[in-house]
Amino acid sequence: MFHRAIIAAAGLSLLGTAAIAQEKMRVSLQLPLSSHLGENLILFEKEVEERTGGAIDVEIYDSATLYKDKEVPAAVGSGAIEAGVASLTRYVGDAPVVDVFYMPFLFNTEEKVRAAVAEGSPVRNILETEIAKTGGSVLYWQAYGGAILLSQDEPIRTPADMQGKKARVFGKTLGDFVTAAGGAPTLISGSEQYLAYQRGTVDVGMTGVSGVKSRKLWEVMDTITKTNHANIEFVVVVNNDWWAGLDAETQGHIRDAANVAQSDVRDRMSQIEADAYAAAEENGMNIVELTDEELTAWQAVSQPVIDGYLAATGEAGQQVLDALGVNSGS
């Protein structure tokens, strides 16, 4: 178990040395610390502890040591742990509206993504309001990049190539996308996908390219298809009661630290993806770019996914699509 703990800071006075009272902030992460989300949490930890003078002691539990990705919402919401990192889609059971980021080809430019995740945007406000009802509130967002497809021996270039194949997904809407393309979706946690590919549990993988690098997925898959059919977002969530128990000044310091970390990972995402693609190629992976015709074929099968999203989310989903200017008619 890789457990990072920082020794308590000490305050000096004329009478001698007195230890500063500390509040632990344990954070669960499914990815290794070497991943860009792990590096981002280390930055957050440093910022928090410097800004609070050591009063908040951040401890990072990486590689799903404490909780798997799918377990984080309940663990944070119940107060079993103070904070955690989870893929946004892990909240779909309680807040179906969050899956908007996984609707096919809706967020196909960085500008659209940045507008949606900006502080105070209608999309972000609606999603965070729904998530807060689970007992955990969003502290900040962590960019993870576009979704890609993984395969062995041959690329998945069109929906026809997905026919009859089992595909790893990590959310309901992504599953609906696979179904619409003729495949069979299988929900598999991020920390379990390496073994799923190795054992042949699924034929097709789905993840972000940074995950290919951090998990060395080139050892079990040899082809990446750059569909960029969804935008993958992670959120750092904190338990509502734990947060409410902090004084306003400490909350302010943590929020400032969160803003630094949030901006850092968002601004570096393009380079992170470029580095990951380079690493994949260096390790023998074939990188496939889609033609305009192939991309159009994928988009053509996507309308049922939008219809399914609206059926599951109702008014909240319609508000999100309206804010994005999406025509939801069949």
pLDDT at 4: 46
**6 falls within a domain:** no
pLDDT at 329: 53
Task: Render each residue's pLDDT in the chain as its tens digit; 330 residues.
Answer: 444 433 333 333 333 333 456 899 999 999 999 999 999 999 999 999 999 999 999 999 999 999 998 999 999 999 999 999 999 999 999 999 999 999 999 997 889 999 999 999 999 999 999 999 999 999 999 999 999 999 999 999 999 999 999 999 998 899 999 999 999 999 998 889 999 999 999 999 999 999 999 999 999 999 999 999 999 999 999 999 999 999 999 999 999 999 999 999 999 999 999 999 999 999 999 999 999 999 999 999 988 998 899 999 999 999 999 998 876 654
- The closest of 190, 186, 195 to 68, measured between CA atoms, is 190
pLDDT at 20: 56
- The closest of 147, 149, 138 to 105, measured between CA atoms, is 147
Range of the domain at 244: 23-324
**289 falls within a domain:** yes
pLDDT at 81: 98
64 phi, psi to nearest 5 deg: 55, 35
Coil, strand or helix: which one is 228? coil
| Kind and range of the H or E run holding 279 | helix 248-282
**17 falls within a domain:** no
**4 falls within a domain:** no
pLDDT at 303: 85
Q: What is the CATH number of the domain that holds 269?
A: 3.40.190.170
Total structural domains within the chain: 1
**8 falls within a domain:** no
**178 falls within a domain:** yes
**126 falls within a domain:** yes
Which residues 6+ apart lie within 8 Å of 156 measured at CB? 149, 162, 165, 204, 223, 225, 227
Residue 159 identity (one-letter amino acid): P
pLDDT at 9: 35
pLDDT at 21: 65
Distance of alpha carbon 159 from alpha carbon 136, whole angstroms = 38
pLDDT at 16: 34
**16 falls within a domain:** no
pLDDT at 108: 79
